[in-house]
């Protein structure tokens, strides 16, 4: 698909602007002419609304989502796109939905009409679990001219937003929905890596890594590494961090076979590795011939001093032997508690501290008054109590 996001929006507006205008006649228009006039008026209103929307700042996320759909179309993973060179003859947008409570932070429905006989009316619901996270295709379907659904795409739904108080840090393209974008990979000997499309945990894609040669040893290995992502956006890293991912080991895992998944901390240089947290899946985790994905989560991770960025590194047959076929990984996520705003900081820290000082001050005043009431007021000291004899 040769359209880029800017051309998508340009075509959307152009399609509406180039509809033939209904002629103005003095005589009473026919019913067909009246319907055409009403349609034209609706299209003019919609064109003005779209022009206002695409010139506003909030359209930036929509353009990024269009780029995501374009990538899926280029990979032939978008429902309804003709196999020949597709021609877009219609375009529509639903209103974006933004919610701080989920299940997704952002979602928007897109409608694209491709030239065909009859025309292909394709609908796509794109979601974004976190404000800083990647896009995922939540639903895709095709309808006829009347809106009746004629085809649906079997898509594993994107995971809902886990905790709106947390911020997504990385890695980019966490579920391989945009192929290898944002990731590096390497193989040696019988090592193998791929973008899997037949059995993802969510969305349309997943990462696959393994060894095709049955001989263990570092002469046959494979690894996948994400592009570095900042931990504090130029400031010291905030923790603790939570690292999670989905995995599936379809083949029988041999005793002692394991794959390492590393969450690594770096300083300002890419070669300055300071520390890492390692998750091991395979024989050690007791997984073999898995029918479903599992999610592994590491919590309470603190960054070492000087850490400003991180990456995710998956290795097969390097630190541990692995000759048990291809392993599948999806939905990588590194999150941290969102840094509080000035208002949030006041509510979370300063206000409780002020209330505590107020309570302590009130208790101190009460104690001082009671002590003053019990103290002698001056003059002759009180006489000693009479002695009591026990005779």
Q: Does pLDDT of 27 surpass 70?
A: no
**CA-to-CA distance for 208 and 328, rounded, in angstroms?**
5
Check pLDDT > 70 for residue 2: no
Mean pLDDT confidence for 190-195: 95
* Alpha carbons 274 and 304: distance in angstroms, whole number: 7
230: Cα within 13 Å, side-chain hemisphere: 7
Mean pLDDT rounded to a whole number for the chain:
82
The highest-confidence range among 99-103, 172-176, 213-217, by mean pLDDT, is 172-176
Domain-wise residue ranges, the chain: 5-23+32-162, 168-337
Average pLDDT value for residue range 221-245: 86
- Which residue is associated with the tokens 């390692």? 278
pLDDT at 237: 64
Checking if the pLDDT of 319 tops 80, the result is yes
Rounded Cα distance between 245 and 176, Å, is 12
Report which of 239, 383, 241, 257 is spatially closest to residue 325, judged by C-alpha positions. 257
The answer to whether 197 and 154 are in contact (CB under 8 A) is no
Q: Which of 8, 157, 160, 118 is nearest to 73 (CA)?
A: 8
What secondary structure letter does DSSP report for 254? P
Q: What are phi and psi of 225, to 5 degrees?
A: -135, 135
CA distances from 367 to 353, 355, 359 (A): 21, 18, 12
d(Cα 177, Cα 135) in Å, to the nearest integer? Answer: 8
pLDDT score, position 391: 38
Q: Average pLDDT, stretch 294-306?
A: 94
Residue 198 pLDDT > 50, yes or no? yes
d(CA 97, CA 165) in angstroms, rounded, equals 19
Tell me the C-alpha to C-alpha distance, in Å, between residue 177 and each of 8, 54, 203, 279, 366: 20, 25, 7, 23, 65
In which band, very low, low, confident or very high, does the pLDDT at 277 lie, cut at 50, 70 and 90?
Answer: very high
- Going from the C-alpha of 322 to that of each of 183, 195, 222, 286, 343, the distances in angstroms are 22, 19, 10, 14, 51
pLDDT band at 151 (very low <50, low <70, confident <90, very high): very high
Choose between 150 and 100: higher pLDDT.
150
What would the pLDDT profile of 366-377 be if each residue is shown by its tens digit?
777 777 776 665
In this prediction, residue 177 carries a pLDDT of 93
Instruction: Say what the pLDDT of residue 339 is.
Output: 62
Report the CATH fold assignment for 168-337: Jelly Rolls (2.60.120)
The predicted structure's pLDDT at residue 256? 94
User: 246 — alpha (psi -120 to 50), left (phi > 0) or beta?
Assistant: beta
What confidence category does residue 315 fall into, taking pLDDT thresholds of 50, 70 and 90?
very high
Quick one: average pLDDT of 179-193?
94
Name the pLDDT band for 17 (thresholds 50, 70, 90). very low
Rounded CA-CA distance 256/153 in Å is 39
**pLDDT of amino acid 226:** 98
Query: What length does the chain have?
Result: 391
Mean pLDDT value across residues 199-220: 86
Residue whose tokens read 């992502």:
229
> What would the two tokens of residue 49 be?
């609304």
pLDDT at residue 19 in the model? 33
Give 22 or 85, the one with higher predicted confidence.
85
Q: Residue 87's CB: how many other CB atoms inside 10 A?
A: 12
Average pLDDT of span 324-331: 96
């Amino acid at each position: 698909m040769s359209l880029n996001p800017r051309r998508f929006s340009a075509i959307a507006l152009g399609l509406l602007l180039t509809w033939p205008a209904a002629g103005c006649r003095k005589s009473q228009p026919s019913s067909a002419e009246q319907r055409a006039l009403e349609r034209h008026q609706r299209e003019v209103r919609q064109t003005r609304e779209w022009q206002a929307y695409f010139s506003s700042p909030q359209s930036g996320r929509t353009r990024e989502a269009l780029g995501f759909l374009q990538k899926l179309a280029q990979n032939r993973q978008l429902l309804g796109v003709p196999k020949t060179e597709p021609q877009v003859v219609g375009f529509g947008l639903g209103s974006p939905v933004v919610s701080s409570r989920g299940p997704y932070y952002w979602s928007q429905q897109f409608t694209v009409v491709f030239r065909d006989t009859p025309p292909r009316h394709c609908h796509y619901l794109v979601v974004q679990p976190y404000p800083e996270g990647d896009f995922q295709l939540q639903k895709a379907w095709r309808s006829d001219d009347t809106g009746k659904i004629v085809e649906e795409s079997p898509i594993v739904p994107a995971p809902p937003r886990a905790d709106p108080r947390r911020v997504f840090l990385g890695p980019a393209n966490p579920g391989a929905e945009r192929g290898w974008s944002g990731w590096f990979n390497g193989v040696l000997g019988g090592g193998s890596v791929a973008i899997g499309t037949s059995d993802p945990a969510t969305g349309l894609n997943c990462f696959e890594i393994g060894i095709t040669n049955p001989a263990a040893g570092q002469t046959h290995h494979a690894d996948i590494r994400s592009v570095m992502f900042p931990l504090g956006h130029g400031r010291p890293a905030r923790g603790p961090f939570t690292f999670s991912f989905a995995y599936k080991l379809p083949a029988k895992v041999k005793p002692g076979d394991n794959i390492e998944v590393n969450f690594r901390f770096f300083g300002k240089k890419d070669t300055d590795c300071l520390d890492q947290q390692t998750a091991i899946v395979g024989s050690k985790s007791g997984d073999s011939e898995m029918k479903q994905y599992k999610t592994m989560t590491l919590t309470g991770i603190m960054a070492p001093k000087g850490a400003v960025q991180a990456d995710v590194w998956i290795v097969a047959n390097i630190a541990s032997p692995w000759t048990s076929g291809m392993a599948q990984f999806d939905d990588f996520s590194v999150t941290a508690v969102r840094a509080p705003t000035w208002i949030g900081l006041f509510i979370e820290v300063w206000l409780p501290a002020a209330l505590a000082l107020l309570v302590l001050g009130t208790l101190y005043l009460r104690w001082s008054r009671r002590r003053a009431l019990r103290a002698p007021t001056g003059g002759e000291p009180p006489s000693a109590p009479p002695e009591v004899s026990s005779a």
